[in-house]
Structures are given as C-alpha cells and as structure tokens.
Structure 1
C-alpha cells in the first residue's frame, strides 16, 4: 500500500474543484465532489461526507455520496453528538473501529450501527485560524480505517479547506463567516477546559470531551461558552 495518495489523483481532484468553483462557485457542488473523491480514493470506504459548520457546530452546508451517509449525518446534527462534531470541536481526527461497541456517542453509534455502519473516521477542515467543519468516511467493516487512512483523509483536508474557505466567504451568510473568525480562540478554550476536567475529575481525553459536549447540548450553550464557564470556575476558586 502506498504511503501517500498518488500525486496525480490529488492534483486532478484539486484541478477539478478549481475549475468547478470558477464556473459555478457553490459550496454544495464543491463538497459533493470532494465526498465522492474521498470514497473512491480511500480503501474500505463505503460512503463519505463533508460538513461545513459555524462556531456553535451548526451545519451551514453539507455534501455526501449517498443516502446512508445522509441518514448517519442527519442523526449527528439532530443529536448534537457524534464523530463529525467531535472532530470539529476538538480540531483533531476521530476514529471508531466498531460502532456496535462504541460508547462515546451511544445515542448516535447504536442507530448508526443498525444502519449497517461499523467504522468511521473524521478529520477537521482547518484553514489558517478557522475551523470550517469536518469530513468523514464510513465503512461497513470493523477496523476498516487506520493511521494510513487518516493520513490520506488529511491529505484531502488541507487543500480542500483552502478552496472551500475561499468560496465560503461569498456563499455562506456573513453571520457564520464572522463567527468562524474566532474559531481558533474557541478551539483553545475547549482544549483548556478539557484539560481542566481531565485533572479535576480524573478523566481521559475522550471522557472530558464528551462531558463538555453533553453539557453544551443539555444547556443549549455553545461548546465555547461551556468551556469558558469551566475555565472561569478555576479562576474563581483561585480567587477565594
């Protein structure tokens, strides 16, 4: 198995996206094209999707290869929980080798497994100081993805984020664009709050992240707002 996605395949994909954006300039077509290329290029993939999100993890645009991906993704958005949202929130790759046994997002993983999905890999779309969203691939086989799969998906993410950021600035409502400008500050707050919870409650990284997401969903606040509350609680303790 090669160590990288063949250079000609990646170059062809980027050329197609550039040509398409120059003529149509739509996010929807860009993410659909990217999702299809991911499914065709990464071994073991049965379906792929791309989600652009604002600072609070709300979808602003999405693309997918088929109805199975749409069903799995729609469930994530409805629940406010799942690997795609976690990859976006943590700005780091997220992988599950067996959704039937997954405990991180049980509200999502159980019905996803019932759809026939067994493995998922999601990576964030990072552009300069912005977190634009996340991209993900699914498989019906357990342990379908590994470090090599993550490397290939990351190869897609870099140039894709650059192209999507350029078109997003004109196609996505200005409100979302303004929110995305301070996404790096949001990511830093989330990382710091996660570390505080890990030390305070003796949690691992995934458990602390899950606690933040659950708190965000139950209180109706953004992850950044919840994270800042955790950070503020430490400052208040030190003050007294």
Structure 2
C-alpha cells in the first residue's frame, strides 16, 4: 500500500511551484504545474488535470498531464456533465470507483471509460468564497482512490486554489473582483435550485445536480440561468 505523501512534502511541493510562478505569473503556467504536482501527490494516479471555470461553469483555462486527460476533460465541457463540473458546482469532493458501472454522468462516463479510464477523483478549487474550478486525478484501474486519497486531494486543493487566485489577481484584479461577486450569487442559486429539485422530485443530492445539468443542457442555458428558472418556478416542467 502506498504511503500518504507527508504534509511537509506537500509544503515543499507548493513552495517549489510558488517559486516557479514568481518568474512566470500566468494562469496557463500555473495550471500545468499544479496538474503535474497532483499526479505526483496522489498515489495510484495515471493522469491529472486542473480546470478553471467562470461563474457560469465555462472552462477558462486548463492544465493536463497527458492527452487522455485532455480528452476526458474536453468531453465534460462538450457534454455538459462529469465529475469536474459536478465538483465545481457542488463545491465538494466527487469520486467514482469504476467508470465501467458509474451511472451519474450517463453521457460522459462511457466515453471516458472508452479512453481507458476507470477511476476518478475530483475536488473543487475554493478560495475564500469563490469556486475557481476543480482539480481531478484519474486512474486506469478500478478502485484506485479511497478516503485517504480524498483527504490528500483536499489538502492539495486548498493551497492550489490560493496560488491560482493570487495569479489570477495579479493578471486581472478587476475581473477577479467582478467574478467573485457573480460566483457567490451563481453558486447560491445553484445550491437553492438543487434543494428545490430534491424536495419537488424526491431526488438525492447527486441526482439533483444531474437533473439541473440536464435542464441546463436541454434548454441550452447556463447552470445559473437554469437554476434561477427552477427557483422562480418557470423550470418546473422542463425536461
């Protein structure tokens, strides 16, 4: 059994990344560095990626360790569903032990499995009250990740979000400030809409997110717009 990466080693990893970012403060560089570091940090990982998203869930930047991760990531945004989007929207960790039998993302899962991926673990990148995006690790083996992996990725995601927020702030402070306010409103709307769906349709937390994504996709609306329509009652009979 692989040992946990010691916390002091995680600190060393971030110190190295932060030093590199001081010489090239770009978001693109940051997400690439963090994807590589995540692959090293989480035992059992075959590939890792980092996705940054705007307040409407649209990807603005990404980093990936290999082409398979890039393809799996691109499919999530093409199809409007997947562990990365769910993790970002719910601001919680998401894990699937076997994509061959996973039913939460009915469009994305079979195509990701066809790429040879079997396990996935994704955590949101949250800085203060803003969800910047998500970081995810993949494995070609089923059951590759467990509660310990979740803890490690969560520990990794915290300082990663801080680093990314600082880089974003250095590049575009006015835009970041505006996105922070909009992200808070957007996430609150999404959370409230999920609660409405859980009560109205008797859904679980995961199923309410899947239903919200389905409504957004079928109406060609953003997650925020779909959430607001549900809250206002206009989305009651959609889908």
Global fold match (TM > 0.5): yes
Following the alignment from structure 2 to structure 1, what is the Cα–Cα distance between the partners of residues 78 and 168?
23
* CA shift in 2, pair 1:65/1:195, >3 Å: same
Following the alignment from structure 1 to structure 2, what is the Cα–Cα distance between the partners of residues 224 and 26?
28
Alignment of 1:28-177 (within 5 A): 28-171=28-171, 175=175
How far residue 176 of structure 1 moved from its aligned partner, in angstroms, is 6.5
Give the count of matched residue pairs: 235
Following the alignment from structure 2 to structure 1, what is the Cα–Cα distance between the partners of residues 152 and 223?
28
Moved more, 7-16 or 194-203: 7-16
Deviations 1:184-232 (A, max 9, x none): 2222221111111111111111111111011112222221221122112
Q: Residue 99 of structure 1 aligns to a residue in which SS?
A: coil
**Unpaired stretches in structure 1, ≥5 consecutive residues:** none
Following the alignment from structure 2 to structure 1, what is the Cα–Cα distance between the partners of residues 173 and 159?
22
Following the alignment from structure 1 to structure 2, what is the Cα–Cα distance between the partners of residues 161 and 124?
9
Q: Residue 55 of structure 1 aligns to a residue in which SS?
A: coil
Following the alignment from structure 1 to structure 2, what is the Cα–Cα distance between the partners of residues 171 and 107?
36
**Unpaired stretches in structure 2, ≥5 consecutive residues:** none
- Kindly indicate which of the two structures has a greater share of residues assigned to helix: 1
Q: Are 1:216 and 2:212 counterparts? A: no
How far residue 7 of structure 1 moved from its aligned partner, in angstroms, is 2.3
8 A contact 1:92–1:123 mirrored in 2 = yes
Following the alignment from structure 2 to structure 1, what is the Cα–Cα distance between the partners of residues 176 and 221?
16
Q: Residue 212 of structure 2 aligns to a residue in which SS?
A: helix
Following the alignment from structure 2 to structure 1, what is the Cα–Cα distance between the partners of residues 83 and 52?
14
TM-score using structure 2 length: 0.92
Aligned residue for 1:185? 185
Q: Residue 144 of structure 2 aligns to a residue in which SS?
A: coil
Deviations 1:14-69 (A, max 9, x none): 11121112111011121111111111121111000000110111111100111110
Following the alignment from structure 2 to structure 1, what is the Cα–Cα distance between the partners of residues 57 and 187?
12
RMSD over aligned Cα atoms:
2.0
Q: Residue 233 of structure 2 aligns to a residue in which SS?
A: helix
Moved more, 166-175 or 84-93: 166-175
Q: Residue 95 of structure 2 aligns to a residue in which SS?
A: strand
Following the alignment from structure 1 to structure 2, what is the Cα–Cα distance between the partners of residues 218 and 59?
19
8 A contact 2:56–2:186 mirrored in 1 = no
8 A contact 1:55–1:176 mirrored in 2 = no
